[in-house]
Amino acid sequence: MSMHRETKELSMYVLRPIDGVPHKFRPPDGNRNPERRGPKLQIATPEGAIETDSIGVNMLTTWLQNTLKSPVINESGVPSVFPASFHFSLKNGGEPALRKAVKDQLGLDLAQNRRSLEFLMIDRAEKLPSTRDAR
């Protein structure tokens, strides 16, 4: 196998804090009601919809990437285990409405940006013979 590294400039989104605005992610509650079955989480990615009472910033970043079909870099500084409530559907206005929902519901900015990212490019790969092929 031969490969090389290549840097490309791409359009992407950056999830970051807003100056003077506290984010709405909170430390997990250790005193959960034992009758509660767990956090409500319902994601319908094909429609660009999400409804959850407990989403961590890493899962949110993944959902944003899949929904926007663009890389999203998390620079929020929010610990990954801090959950938040978030409700949105792309049917409610598309990308501008999504950016507003992230700001209003989570206290974070979802900004478009251009950045250079490094990729590992595979130039050539060879198939190794399996033990079945030797028979």
The confidence score (pLDDT) of residue 61 equals 92
* Burial profile 45-83: b = 16 or more Cβ within 10 angstroms, e = fewer: eeebbbebebbbbebbbebbeebbeebbebebebeeebb
Each residue of 11-53: pLDDT tens digit?
999 999 998 888 888 777 654 444 444 556 666 655 667 877 7
Cα–Cα–Cα angle for 74, 92, 45, nearest 5°? Answer: 55
Give strand ranges (E) for 18-96. Answer: 41-44, 49-55, 72-74, 84-89
Does pLDDT of 57 surpass 70?
yes
**So where are the chain's domains?**
2-25+38-116
Each residue of 88-113: pLDDT tens digit?
888 777 888 899 999 999 999 999 99
